[in-house]
A and B are shown apart, each in its own frame.
Chain A
Amino acid sequence: MEYFRRTNSFFAAAFVLLLAVGLMAPNWFSYLTTISLAKALVVIGLVILLRAGLVSFGQGLYYCLGGYSVGIAGHYLQWTDGFLVLLIAMVVSGIVAAILGLLLCRYREIFFAMLTMAFSMILYGILVKSVGLGSTDGFNIHSVSFFGWEPGTDKLGLIVYFLACLAALIVAVLMHRYFHSPVGFAGEAIRENEIRVEYLGVSPNRIIFSKYILAAVLAGAGGGLTALASGHVDPEMAYWTTSGEFVFVALLSGTAHVAAVFIAAFLFEIIRTYAFDLAPYNWQMILGATLLLIIFFLPKGLWSIFTIRRAGGGVK
């Protein structure tokens, strides 16, 4: 469709570029990119909520659920197909979100943020106490197959990288359309003025409910991909610092464009890797300083570098 052609060609070009990079880049680089693509999926969900004026400090809940779903499916049910386990991760996250969402869609602002964090910490608590799932150590993921074909351990990293690129492409195209759709704009409308939305015949709670589920499904996919790439899951995935990391990336990217999220997630992984290298004991300080710089100079996130401010103008 004409409306999205330019952005879609951009996404397609980025996808081809990523595939090419994957074939040439060293393993550590493609691993880092896989993880950042996976986390970007989670952050896109967070951005969907942010656009509706809600901050979730508990996306780690679904990130972790996605990871554990993949692990449990392979470990206990012997389901190893990569596409199937990712689908399971998304479905499980979606179902849990549909239950919690019934409560959460009535809350806003700090109450929403705290409740989402509380739910993710409950999962963390349960997993830490679950000896059968490895307690604080978590457990390793069975190697996966794709339609019956099992890539060896040497090739698995690259295959998961391609899978992450494909998932990123699909999500980017669909979510870019979503941002520009009536439901996407309804989110912004809710952030700005719920009373008006209600008087336009639409239920803000229902819209938020649907967005919460969508965000959870994306976080589940991100968690599942992370589990496949790292070959391991542990309760840290649900810990509040993990959720905080997603919020960090969302602030870095801003809510203006889907592409910004991927760039921000990649930058975040790079900054963290090098920060850890430079200052093994104080790397958080470097991340903190980065966040401060972003808040001071790019309060609307990375994408504001590319857009011209339209505020105040426009009267012909």
Chain B
Amino acid sequence: MSVILKTKNLSKSFGAVTAAANINVEIHEREIVGVIGANGAGKTTFINMVTGYLKPSAGEIDFRNRNILGLSPRHITKIGISRSFQVPQLFSELTALENIVIAHRLMKANRLEVQAPLKTQSAVDAARGSLAEFGIADYAEAQVTALPQGTRKLLDIAMAMAGSPDLLLLDEPTSGVAMEEKFPLMDTVMEAVKRSRAACLFVEHDMEIVARYTDRVLAFYDGHIIADAPTEEALSNKEVREYVIGTELHREKEGKEERTYVESP
């Protein structure tokens, strides 16, 4: 599998605070990568730099062998990197269906039309299909303000995937979602990701989810990457357990499959 995203010595500092230092990451096609780390470790900063929202202080970002440093979020979206948000970013006075229709039309158009209707039959059908794919078709006509949190999260991700991106960055897809809904939600999202053949990188605090869905893990600590390895290996890394997962609560018993990982505060 070829590399689609590559960062070289990526760094970001806000005054005296170093949010990211020497981040060297390679993401391959169709790979599912988990990003873990305590609050303030630089996970979201990394996503913000890759999507052009924050300008790195130093370093390079290549996407499909093209330097994308300095491009705006909208350019980066157009060339195939999409993201979702920790707090869903939706059009709250519109319906779920309208949100998706707008996402589809805005993502796919090179020039927006001023006289043809937005809600053509084909656009609405495509949007309903997308809602169905994420299991939220029942909410199509509901205004976003009336949607439960899990549905909003799914809608946010569905909108990010509207442009069929090559790389999807999910910022804490399960935050704010009830414990018992986390796995069904991730099942839905990961099925959609696999169908779309996109590579996916997601930030997650729940180690059970990381363990179940990712091929590889990047562990951030204090702006640095302290581990970049296949999931199993990364999660048992000594430093990762000390700084990210928390050694006190983590235990590893031979022969016992079920493990409870709790992140250190």
Contact = CB atoms under 8 A, between A and B. Distances in A.
Interface in A148-192: 174, 177-178, 180-186, 188-189, 192
A13 interface: no
Contacts of B109: 182
Given A193-B89, A196-B159, A202 B146 contact: no
A312 B143 contact: yes
Contact of B77 (A1, A193, A200, A316): A200
A200 B103 contact: yes
Interface in B89-147: 89-95, 98, 101-103, 105-107, 109, 112-120, 138-143, 145-146
A201 B146 contact: no
A188 B91 contact: yes
Interface string B144-187: 01100000000000011011000000000000000000000000
Contact of B102 (A177, A186, A198, A315): A186
B141 A180 contact: no
A29 interface: no
Contacts of A310: 95, 141, 143
A211 B74 CA distance: 19
Contact of B117 (A181, A186, A189, A311): A181
Contacts of B102: 182, 185-186, 189, 200
A290 interface: no
B51 interface: yes
Given A192-B92, A310-B143, A199 B114 contact: no
Interface residues of A, number: 34
Interface in A257-316: 310-316
A4 interface: yes
Contacts of B98: 185
B83 interface: yes
B74 A198 contact: yes
B113 A202 contact: no
Nearest to A202: B106
A313 B143 CA distance: 8
Given A193-B90, A202-B106, 10 more contacts: A3-B117, A4-B117, A181-B112, A181-B113, A193-B92, A195-B85, A196-B91, A201-B75, A201-B107, A311-B145
Interface of B: 51, 72-75, 77-78, 82-83, 85, 89-95, 98, 101-103, 105-107, 109, 112-120, 138-143, 145-146, 159-160, 162-163
18 contacts: A1-B117, A174-B115, A180-B118, A181-B115, A181-B118, A184-B114, A186-B102, A192-B91, A193-B92, A198-B74, A200-B103, A200-B162, A201-B74, A201-B75, A201-B78, A201-B107, A311-B146, A314-B139
